[in-house]
Amino acid sequence: MNREHVGWWGLLAFTLVPWLVLGDAAGDPITDELRELPALQKLHVSWPVDATLLNCAARLTEYVRITGACSVGLGAPEADWLKCIGACESGGGRLVVKYSPLRSAPLPDESPAERANAFDARFTAELCEIMTQLEGLEAIVDAGGVELAVILLDSESHIVTDETRQALVEKHTAVYRLFKDAFPTARIVWYNVGGIREAGTPEGWNEFPKVPIEIPVDNAFSCSLYALPEIHRMRETFRRTLANAELHGVGEVVPWVALGCGWERTPWRPPPGRKVRRWCDTCDYPLAYSWQLGAELNRPWYSTRPMQYAPWSAAPIVAFWPQAGDTGVPAWWRHFIAYVRGAHNRALEGGGP
């Protein structure tokens, strides 16, 4: 690929990105506080960053400087990629692309044979769409001169059973190979592959059932840490997922972290088999929990005590979901700042260490 694929306007935008994006965050207290924070010790990626954040050059640049990355969805407008590339150039970050494969679920009235045929047909069309989008992305990345370091793949539309396992392994592997062929040096992270979670089973835990663990994983399983106030459960989730990874010859685990939101316990007794928790975007738990997880995931001291805390040194990358700066999570920035302060053992709030 070369710069001709991007076009004259695209190349002009690479030069003008810092001035074209809307909003310079002048006098913005969040951006001012971000400027006072050091970069995180590990690479932190996220679901594609919120549109509001993409349109605020100063805050986006500080976020990229701290986390080391900027995420955009495959198939996003070229303008979004150019803004992200501009922030990576200014903030010293790398690019991340996210894609959700195998999204089409079978219709309820399809017979097993019809379901299989329809699934194959839809997947063939999806592969063609992926190839087209990857070709465009290769051109943008090649012209932009910023490394695409991580590929996030999230597949949650199908349940892995004895009957579906082989087909799902084949299809997930085909998706993996398309992305790997396009970006050989990028690390591919599957959401929750091999992840262990709390469950209503006799053991109290089970494996995430929507991604087969036989697929290529770039030496990392992953797990969800979506209830930070339940810090002991978050640690045990990571320990059990790492044990599952090592059982399958995989050495690392990428934790997905929800800041300022997450699962909370329901205040009523549900019928047997029903969930005892609900998702809350506005629960805004105490900042101390985000501070603590930032400390544990990023400061090596905690990993030397894996039974007291968790073997966090096995986490090479941390992923945020919901997306960075999600406007649907009002407290996201406050918790992100607390997380970073914890990573550097700074006081929970205030300007100094």
pLDDT attached to residue 109: 64
**Regarding beta strands 277-280 and 262-265, do their DSSP bridges make them parallel or antiparallel, or are they unpaired?**
antiparallel
pLDDT band at 6 (very low <50, low <70, confident <90, very high): very low
CB atoms within 10 A of CB 298: 22
Contact 93, 65 (CB under 8 A): yes
Mean pLDDT of 135-143: 95
Which neighbouring-strand residues pair with 151?
Answer: 97, 188
Mean pLDDT of 193-221: 93
- Rounded CA separation 318/42 (Å): 7
Number of domains in the chain: 1
Average pLDDT, the chain: 88
Average the pLDDT over each of 9-18, 223-232, 325-334 and give the range with the smallest value.
9-18
Residue ranges making up the domain that contains 44: 3-343
Mean pLDDT of 152-156: 96
* CATH for 39: 3.20.20
Average the pLDDT over each of 84-88, 130-134, 154-158, 348-352 and give the range with the smallest value.
348-352
Distances from the Cα of 260 to the Cα of 46, 160, 247, 257, 289, angstroms? 14, 31, 33, 10, 10
Task: Name the one residue in this structure whose structure tokens are 């663990």.
Answer: 213
Q: Within a domain: residue 245? A: yes
pLDDT band at 107 (very low <50, low <70, confident <90, very high): low
Contact 93, 46 (CB under 8 A): no
Assess whether pLDDT exceeds 50 at residue 14.
no
Mean pLDDT of 133-154: 96
Contact 148, 179 (CB under 8 A): no
Assess whether pLDDT exceeds 50 at residue 131.
yes
Q: Within a domain: residue 186? A: yes
Q: Within a domain: residue 350? A: no
161 three-state secondary structure: coil
246 Cβ neighbours under 8 A, 6+ residues apart? none
Which residue type sits at 313? S
Alpha helices, H only, 145-260? 165-182, 231-247
DSSP-assigned letter for residue 73: E
Assess whether pLDDT exceeds 50 at residue 338.
yes
- Rounded CA separation 96/46 (Å): 8
pLDDT band at 75 (very low <50, low <70, confident <90, very high): very high
Closest to 349 measured CA to CA, from 125, 29, 14, 110 = 29
Q: Within a domain: residue 183? A: yes
pLDDT attached to residue 4: 36
Average the pLDDT over each of 92-106, 136-150, 285-299 and give the range with the smallest value.
92-106
Assess whether pLDDT exceeds 90 at residue 68.
yes
pLDDT attached to residue 344: 98
Contact 254, 220 (CB under 8 A): yes
Q: Which helix or strand (DSSP H or E) is residue 143 part of?
A: helix 112-144
Q: Within a domain: residue 95? A: yes
72 Cβ neighbours under 8 A, 6+ residues apart? 48, 49, 80, 81, 84, 95, 96, 97, 98
pLDDT attached to residue 12: 42
Assess whether pLDDT exceeds 80 at residue 323.
yes
- What CA dihedral angle connects 248, 254, 256 and 257, to 10 degrees? 130
Q: Within a domain: residue 351? A: no
pLDDT attached to residue 100: 96
pLDDT attached to residue 202: 85
Q: Within a domain: residue 348? A: no
- 352 versus 104: the higher-pLDDT residue is 104
pLDDT band at 18 (very low <50, low <70, confident <90, very high): very low
Q: Within a domain: residue 353? A: no
pLDDT band at 180 (very low <50, low <70, confident <90, very high): very high
Mean pLDDT of 285-293: 97
Strand ranges inside 50-124, DSSP E? 69-73, 94-99
Assess whether pLDDT exceeds 80 at residue 16.
no
Token pair for 42? 């590990």
- Rounded CA separation 67/60 (Å): 10
Mean pLDDT of 304-329: 96
